[in-house]
Amino acid sequence: MLRFVASRLLAVIPVLFVVSCVVFLILRLAPGDPAAVIAGNSATGAEIEQIRAKLGLNESLPVQYGIWISKVLQGDLGHSYFLNKPVSDLILQRLEPTASLALGTIVLAILLAVPLGTVAASRMGGGLDRLLSVISVAGFSVPVFVTGYVLIYLFSIQLQWLPVQGYEPLSGKGGLWAWARQLILPWLALSIIYVALIARITRASVSEALTEDYIRTARAKGLHERAVLLRHALRNAAVPIVTVIGIGVALLIGGVVVTETVFAIPGLGSLTVDVVLNRDFPVIQGLVLFFAVSYVVINLLVDLSYLLLDPRIRY
């Protein structure tokens, strides 16, 4: 087990190297220049040049990459061109909101999607199956900013139950309740999408499991249909379901820009868009490294969870 985990973590190095090189090149080759953005509207060409020189953007690409990668290896992700803050602080600051948004959404999605998919699978092809499929897929078919606005209109403006926007840190004075209140609407808006994703995979893999011989054995033991469905079919369908949940978490960590914009939640998604639009190179590169590592770690956790779910799998 340890060797497997070690080898997977070591495999991160080449991926990180490839990813950082690719992103480094995309940024330098794509049009747009941070110095121009900093100088602002009424600057002149000369001023932009001065700022470029100060930021070291006139060095050759390999030199710039060398400087950056050597600093990263010592754990210093560098400084943002704009925000006068180390990149690591920026990411850490945005971690809690993104994590709360991501975890809440995934938990809610699983609680809704797994039963939905399992029931749909048990009544495969029936009216209920089609109805549940349409509901779960309908969630997936609406852009999240539309759902977001409608939810705000209903729950914040009309019913005034929940706040429109903002994020209260967990450690804030409001404590758990203030934190949760802010996130209920975004959780709902987002989880509708992931319910569709997870429900479809659950429906597919549970109905596939129901064709297996051990289901017939379970029924021959006189078990109630629900026990057969949950303890036998669902447990065997767990591996593909956990895989799609892993993908979901990776997407959520990557930042759900639109939801963060609509609900004004300071997540990694909106930070990504800001820094990319401003061409804040160090932060972009830091973010990409963070996403790459989190993506690989999530995949590793998913693979390790397979060990718990299916004894046949050994690494």
Q: Is 175 one of the binding residues for other proteins (CB under 8 A)?
A: no
Interacting residues of 313 by C-beta distance below 8 A, sequence separation 6+: 239, 306, 307
Decide: is 297 part of the binding site for other proteins (CB under 8 A).
Answer: no
Tokens linked to 14: 């080449």
| Interface segment toward other proteins; rule CB under 8 A; list 57-65, 66-74, 99-107, 220-228 | 220-228
Q: Which two tokens stand for residue 190?
A: 């987002």
By the rule CB under 8 A, 102 interacts with other proteins: no
Residue type at position 202: T
Q: 């399992």: which residue's tokens?
A: 118
Phi and psi for 267 in degrees, rounded to 5?
-100, 180
35 Cβ partners below 8 Å, 6+ apart?
A: 48, 49, 51, 52, 55, 57
Q: Which of 132, 198, 252, 287 binds other proteins (CB under 8 A)?
A: 287
Q: Which of 274, 300, 303, 305 touches other proteins by CB under 8 A?
A: 274
**57, 65, 266, 304: residue in contact with other proteins (rule CB under 8 A):** 266
Spatial separation of the C-alpha atoms in residues 88 and 76, rounded to whole Å: 8
Which residues have CB under 8 Å from 222's CB, separation 6+? none
How long a stretch of residues is the chain? 315
Cβ-contact 209, 236 below 8 angstroms: yes
Q: Which of residues 3-32 bind other proteins (CB under 8 A)?
A: 3-4, 11, 14-15, 18-19, 22-23, 26-27, 29-32
- State yes or no: residue 173 binds other proteins (CB under 8 A): no
Question: How far apart are the C-alpha atoms of 151 and 1, rounded to whole Å?
Answer: 46
Q: Could you count the other beta carbons within 10 Å of the beta carbon of residue 289?
A: 18
Nearer to other proteins, 39 or 101 (CB): 39
Stretch that binds other proteins, among 57-65, 67-75, 98-106, 263-271 (CB under 8 A): 263-271
* Contact between 272 and other proteins per CB under 8 A: yes
User: What's the CA gap between 104 and 186, in Å, rounded?
Assistant: 9
Q: Which among 91, 105, 80, 106 is positioned nearest to 185, based on CA atoms? A: 105
Per-residue contact string for residues 129-158; x = within reach of other proteins by CB under 8 A: -x--xx--xx-xxxxxxx--x--xx--xx-
Say how many residues touch other proteins, by CB under 8 A.
135
Which of residues 246, 248, 269, 286 is near other proteins by CB under 8 A? 269
Residue 171 found at the interface with other proteins (CB under 8 A): no
Which residue in the set 64, 95, 96, 181 belongs to the binding site for other proteins (CB under 8 A)?
Answer: 181
Q: Does residue 172 interact with other proteins by CB under 8 A? A: no
CB of 157 to other proteins, least distance (A): 6
User: CA angle 64-69-72, nearest 5°?
Assistant: 130
Compose the 47-66 pattern: x for residues touching other proteins by CB under 8 A, - for all others.
xx-xx-xx------------
Q: Taking the complex as a whole, how short is the minimal distance between the CB of residue 196 and other proteins, in angstroms?
A: 8
CA nearest to 102, candidates 226, 245, 222, 220: 245
Nearer to other proteins, 67 or 85 (CB): 85
Smallest separation, CB 6 to other proteins (Å):
11
Q: How far is the CB of 282 from other proteins (least distance, A)?
A: 14
Give ∠ CA 247-192-116 in degrees, rounded to 5. Answer: 85
